[in-house]
Amino acid sequence: MRIVLAENLEYAQSGQELLRAVDLELRHGDRLALVGDNGSGKTTLLRLLVGELEPTRGRILRAEGVHLELLPQDPQYGPEETVALVLQRGQARFRQMEAELARLERGLDDPQVYLRWEALYQRFEAVGGYRQRARYQAVLKGLGFVHREEEKAQALSGGEARRLALGALLLSGADALLLDEPTNHLDLERVDWLVSFLQSFGGAMVTVSHDRRFLDQVTQRVAWLREGRLSFYQGNYTAFRREQATQEAQEAQQYARWLKEKQRLEGVLAQARRWAHSSAKHARRMHSLEARLEQFVQKAVPPPEAEAPGVRIQFPLEHPPSAERVLEGWALQKSLAGRLLFDIPHLLVRKGERIALIGPNGAGKTTLLRVLLGLLPSDHPAGRVRTGPGVRLGYYDQKLSGFDPELSLYETLYRMLGEKAHAALAAWRFPYPAQFKRVKHLSGGERARLALLSLSLEQASLLVLDEPTNHLDLKTVETLEEALWDYPGTLLLVSHDRYFLDRLARRTWHLFDGQFADYPGPPGEYLERQQAQMVTRKVETEPPPEAQSRTRRVKGRWHLEREQERLEAQIADLEAQLQALQARTAQPNLHHSEYTQIAQEQTHLEAQLNQALERWAALAEQLEPR
């Protein structure tokens, strides 16, 4: 089923044409990755699709009754809104769909009514209508809002507010989810949870993200927005990059062959012209070659499209330190509001190591970095940190502090580089007019590039990077990744981009619940081992069937209520399936074999329904107040 169709879409802003002749069709089940440079118009296209903006030219057709939901970049909440109220907004849409299904069911004898009922039923099922309670609980747990439902939404931190908006979108009942950087402010574990949740979603999705692993897991097609136009590729992001590279190589080869042949023909023609005056035969040959060359040029192979200028990132290091022990700490301890973040007796970073620091949001990753850098003291009286002789630190702070917000970009760089400031800014994709913007007016991507530019000038032998990929487009992330791959110094990285970490890190530090683990391998390998160990422990501690039945008999009230909710969703699903079968039997000219198949399905579903109803009644009796 088609959800939305954009035809010949154009959009201009402040005299700049962002979109030109864009065509896009989105159907139920589509999994589309929208990629392109920062400022290319990706968010603008999403806002046009959802109806927040109107196109300059062209049209957008949305199917009747469908709903598209866009993840806001900066969510705003009312003073009375709680976490629960925000998350439950989408239930109103589900109630509307349920009421419409019930209304249509009264007239299923009419084939046209039945077709409308069937289409709505499929949409309702695809977007999770029969799993509302289970999905609500999953979002509470997966995004970290368990036991926080009555908190005011306005009191949440920026990252929490964004996670709450993501939760509301996932529960919205929308036919299409427009996900603009959904993994921002999610740690590695929550990104994995989000992948699992989205893979079970039956509607359509358009995803903008700089997380390549996430895109690979949740998308099946790529739309590349470049110079205002969309190009489509089958497969996930990795397949797109592979096909793109192959296509570019083929185009370059074709153009090189054409150019070589053109030069050969021009050489032959030049020789013919030198002999043309000697005889009529040579003159005729010259004219024939001129005509041939003209025809050849008219069928010219287009030259490969010039690559849009990207950021040129380098972290030069003229004199790598000889110190083997780059950074060392003793008695590193920190608590927050009575909660222990970490207590590490000894920590050593050696020359050339590449370390990823991972852990849930709030585990204390940034705090540990700041203690190691001497920006925060250890709570332990014996705590101390020492850097090796000649080691020079470079710190990328995810808050992007350290710059005077009132200075312009040019003034900021002039203090570092003098007259070379303009050239340096241009190399980092700051066009001349933008170089006079004040730092406080820079976008997130511009501030990130400024911080990386500053870091590249420091000649640091130890780079400590806290979420360096935030606010960067995919091309810049890949350029940064290559620059760090070539960097000869020592790296300490914090990022929620697992692809980025797995490519660069060879040692993993994990902070969780006040515990610290040190693993001699990349994060992906460490997390897979942890998952395997959890499964093994679960199998080893799983009680025998008799013990399981005893355990079920003594379940707490909370567990019984959750089981009852799951059964209610299952019962509603089974009843809907039975109603659909009954509607099929009302169709005229139904073959005998089809009646037999329907009867068999009906018997099977009724048995499942009776079993679910009996269990529900038993639970209701257990939960009834004595």
From the CA atom positions of the chain, what is the Rg in Å? Answer: 31
Closest CA to 28 of 122, 91, 96, 121: 122
Does 109 lie in the same domain as 227?
yes
Does 207 lie in the same domain as 70?
yes
Does 609 lie in the same domain as 496?
no
- Domain residues for the domain of 274 are 243-298
Structural domain contains residue 307: no
pLDDT in tens, 2-12: 889 999 999 98
- The rounded Cα 547 to chain-centroid distance in angstroms is 43
Give me 209's structure tokens: 């993200």
CATH number for the domain that contains residue 612: 1.10.287.380
Residue 552 confidence (pLDDT) above 50: no
pLDDT in tens, 32-54: 999 988 878 899 999 999 999 99
Query: Out of 21-35, 319-333, 363-377, 583-597, which region has the weakest mean confidence (pLDDT)?
Result: 583-597
Q: How confident is the model at residue 554 (pLDDT cuts 50, 70, 90)?
A: very low
Angle subtended at Cα 283 by Cα 277 and Cα 286, rounded to the nearest 5 degrees: 115
Does 286 lie in the same domain as 149?
no
Does 125 lie in the same domain as 55?
yes
Q: Residue 271 gets which letter from DSSP?
A: H
d(CA 210, CA 80): 34
Q: What is the DSSP string of 291-312?
A: HHHHHHHHTPPPPPPPPPP---
Does 123 lie in the same domain as 212?
yes
Are 133 and 568 in contact, with CB atoms under 8 Å apart?
yes
- The whole model's pTM is what? 0.70
Structural domain contains residue 539: no
d(CA 301, CA 303): 6
Q: Which residues pair with 396 in a beta bridge?
A: 465
CA-CA-CA-CA dihedral for 100, 101, 104, 109, to nearest 10: 170
Residue 550 confidence (pLDDT) above 70: no
Looking at 508, 534, 560, the residue that finishes a domain is: 534
Structural domain contains residue 311: no
Residue 601 confidence (pLDDT) above 80: no
Q: Specify the residue for token string 């590279």.
A: 245
Structural domain contains residue 317: no
Closest CA to 400 of 349, 443, 368: 443
Looking at 235, 260, 278, the residue that finishes a domain is: 235
Does 338 lie in the same domain as 482?
yes
Handedness of CA 583, 585, 591, 597 (dihedral sign): positive
Does 282 lie in the same domain as 229?
no
Q: How confident is the model at residue 429 (pLDDT cuts 50, 70, 90)?
A: confident
d(CA 452, CA 403): 12
Does 415 lie in the same domain as 459?
yes
Looking at 486, 501, 534, the residue that finishes a domain is: 534
Structural domain contains residue 318: no
Mean pLDDT value of segment 269-288:
86
Mean residue pLDDT of the chain comes to 85
CATH number for the domain that contains residue 421: 3.40.50.300
Alpha helix (H) residue ranges in 462-556: 474-486, 498-504, 523-541, 545-553
Angle subtended at Cα 243 by Cα 242 and Cα 247, rounded to the nearest 5 degrees: 120
Rounded to 10°, the helix 409-417/444-456 angle is 0
Structural domain contains residue 16: yes
Does 340 lie in the same domain as 457?
yes
Residue 555 confidence (pLDDT) above 60: no
Q: State the maximum Cα–Cα separation within the chain, in Å, rounded to a whole number.
A: 120
Residue 185 confidence (pLDDT) above 50: yes
Structural domain contains residue 138: yes
Mean pLDDT value of segment 138-159:
89
Alpha helix (H) residue ranges in 299-428: 365-372, 409-417, 421-427
pLDDT in tens, 208-232: 998 999 999 999 999 999 888 999 9
Closest CA to 117 of 138, 101, 139: 101
Does 39 lie in the same domain as 156?
yes
d(CA 588, CA 205): 38
Does 486 lie in the same domain as 402?
yes
| Total domains, the chain | 4
Mean pLDDT value of segment 556-584:
74
So what's the pLDDT on residue 250? Answer: 84
So what's the pLDDT on residue 400? Answer: 66
Residue 369 confidence (pLDDT) above 60: yes
Mean pLDDT value of segment 72-95:
86
Structural domain contains residue 214: yes
